[in-house]
């Protein structure tokens, strides 16, 4: 099965256009205060218009108030919500939209966390600890033994063109999620690194099918 690819933390329309031209499956926009790649609602709404049909648009929030999430949903097309805070399964599920939940793989109680969101369309395994923001380029031990249920696994945290093939071989995720690993500077995606990342995912898929 082909590994899906999400480019996250995009802040410029030209980066969306290049990512789409390269064949990315999903684009992530971050509406989390304090994130290096934070977008205000107006900025995110404007960028969302650059994402064409058939490319999944993902909006990231963390412990956001219900009013903000509903404002996001009313102002822009959102195919998938991604929750990065302490949200419960019930809190994530009230919006009537598919969602994925980030799991802090820097914590010790990961096995418990993996069972905490039965309504999630998938789980994003990220390298940070609870209470920390993702997108810090923190990887975790891909050799960890995890009890994986039926939900698709999205692998994030510290990925780049230099290690994504290794990560796919170790974890066999449904998708990979990269932000800082395809940048030339925070908020600035690098076209060559985006291309190299996709090429490495495709190489890994051919090797480990």
Q: What is the residue whose two structure tokens read 């449904």?
A: 174
pLDDT, position 109: 63
Rounded average pLDDT over 184-204: 96
pLDDT, position 105: 84
Q: Which structural domain range is residue 164 located in?
A: 4-208
Instruction: Give pLDDT tens digits for 125-177.
Output: 987 666 566 556 677 888 876 777 789 999 999 999 999 999 999 999 999 99
pLDDT, position 194: 98
Rounded average pLDDT over 13-20: 98
Lowest mean pLDDT among 31-35, 103-107, 196-200: 103-107
Residue 93 has pLDDT above 60, yes or no: yes
pLDDT, position 117: 92
Residue 178 has pLDDT above 90, yes or no: yes
80: nearest Cα among 113, 37, 123: 123
Q: State the CATH number of the domain containing residue 68.
A: 3.20.20.70
C-alpha Rg value of the chain to the nearest Å: 16
Overall number of domains in the chain? 1
pLDDT, position 141: 82
Q: Is 41 exposed, middle or buried (0-12, 13-18, 19+ CB in 10 A)?
A: middle
User: Which tokens belong to 186?
Assistant: 């925070």
Q: pTM score > 0.85 for this model?
A: yes
pLDDT, position 116: 86
């Amino acid at each position: 099965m082909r590994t899906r690819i999400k480019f996250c933390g995009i802040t410029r329309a030209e980066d969306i256009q290049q990512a789409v031209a390269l064949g990315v499956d999903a684009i992530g926009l971050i509406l989390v205060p304090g994130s290096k790649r934070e977008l205000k609602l107006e900025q995110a709404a404007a960028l969302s218009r650059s994402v064409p049909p058939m490319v999944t648009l993902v909006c990231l929030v963390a412990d956001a108030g219900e009013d903000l999430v509903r404002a996001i949903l009313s102002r822009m097309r959102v195919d998938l919500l991604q929750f990065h805070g302490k949200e419960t399964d019930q809190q994530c599920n009230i919006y009537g939209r598919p969602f994925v939940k980030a799991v802090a793989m820097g914590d010790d109680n990961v096995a418990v966390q993996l069972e905490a969101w039965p309504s999630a369309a998938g789980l994003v395994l990220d390298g940070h600890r609870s209470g920390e923001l993702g997108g810090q380029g923190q990887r975790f031990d891909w050799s960890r033994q995890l009890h994986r249920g039926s939900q698709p696994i999205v692998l994030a945290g510290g990925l780049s063109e230099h290690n994504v093939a290794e990560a796919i071989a170790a974890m066999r995720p449904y998708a990979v999620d990269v932000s800082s690993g395809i940048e030339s500077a925070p908020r600035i995606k690098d076209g060559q690194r985006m291309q190299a990342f996709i090429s490495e995912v495709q190489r890994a898929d051919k090797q480990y099918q």
